[in-house]
Amino acid sequence: MILWFLTGNKGKLSEASALFSEYGIEVKQLEASITEPQSDDIEEVAKAKMAQALDYLPDKNDLLLVEDAGLFIDSLNGFPGVFSAYALQTIGSEGILRLMGHLQSEDPIQDSHLRKAEFQAVAVLHIAGETLVGRGICPGRIAHKPSEGEGFGFDPIFIPSDLDALGEALGPGELGDVSTHGLPFGAIDSVQKHLFSHRARALSSLMVMMNERRENLK
């Protein structure tokens, strides 16, 4: 089974390939010229991109995936949110850190609250004429300085919250069974990122829906 992923981002492509390969689905990059929709809702953005990308699907039986994500920072009233790609191109991670320069505390819990943020992802899958929507959230906080290492986008400045034994994210400053020990996404490998990631959660919820449909067809 082939799944076309509308993305220009190699980091996202490799994260999705790793996930879907476990289900025997080959992920290929779909290149299409589409207009970036204007909306303050990432689900609307993803669905509008899907509507345009369907025309580029090589075979109508193939699957099509569109995913949209954003970084929402509490103290900046959700900025950059749907403008994440634009913020990254213009002010970059360093600009975000400058905007938050005054938000810090000696107390680690207070500091986590002041710098609270979350990644949100919506993944829309076109499968057999149906559209499935998966959502994922990764709560965390913004680091004080960027990390060096792997990752893309805001990975160098985003530290995910710890997870409990069931994989559920904990609140700011809470210690859990799974932790990056204060390291941002940019300083951990993709296998570890996968445990926390908004995209992994959105794609996993899509897979649950796909499996339910397969079961129903049996």
Distance CA 97, CA 134 (A): 30
Asked if 184 interacts with ligand IMP (CB under 6 A), we say no
DSSP 130: E
Residue from 4, 5, 72, 154 that binds ligand IMP (CB under 6 A)? Answer: 154
Number of residues that bind ligand IMP (CB under 6 A): 16
Asked if 20 interacts with ligand IMP (CB under 6 A), we say no
CA distances from 137 to 36, 58, 60, 74 (A): 22, 31, 31, 14
In whole angstroms, the minimum distance from the beta carbon of 46 to ligand IMP comes to 8
Asked if 99 interacts with ligand IMP (CB under 6 A), we say no
Binding map of ligand IMP across residues 100-129, x = CB under 6 A, - = no contact: -------------------x----------
Asked if 162 interacts with ligand IMP (CB under 6 A), we say no
Asked if 185 interacts with ligand IMP (CB under 6 A), we say yes
CA distances from 180 to 129, 171, 194 (A): 40, 14, 12
In whole angstroms, the minimum distance from the beta carbon of 123 to ligand IMP comes to 10
Asked if 6 interacts with ligand IMP (CB under 6 A), we say no
Distance CA 197, CA 203 (A): 10
C-beta neighbour count of 205 within 10 angstroms:
16
Asked if 34 interacts with ligand IMP (CB under 6 A), we say no
Report the greatest alpha carbon distance in the chain: 58
Residue from 96, 155, 169, 200 that binds ligand IMP (CB under 6 A)? Answer: 155
Residue from 134, 136, 140, 153 that binds ligand IMP (CB under 6 A)? Answer: 153
Candidates 56-64, 65-73, 94-102, 159-167; binding stretch for ligand IMP (CB under 6 A): 65-73
Distance CA 55, CA 5 (A): 14
DSSP-assigned letters across all residues of 99-126: HTTT---SSHHHHHHHTEEEEEEEEEEE
- Closer to ligand IMP at the Cβ: 156 or 172? 156
CA distances from 216 to 3, 76, 211, 212 (A): 21, 45, 9, 6
Angle between helices 198-217 and 10-21 (to 10 degrees): 40
User: Is 68 a known active-site residue?
Assistant: yes
Catalytic residue among 55, 59, 68, 177: 68
Catalytic (active-site) positions: 68
Applying CB under 6 A, which residues contact ligand IMP? 9, 68-71, 84-85, 88, 119, 152-155, 185, 197, 199
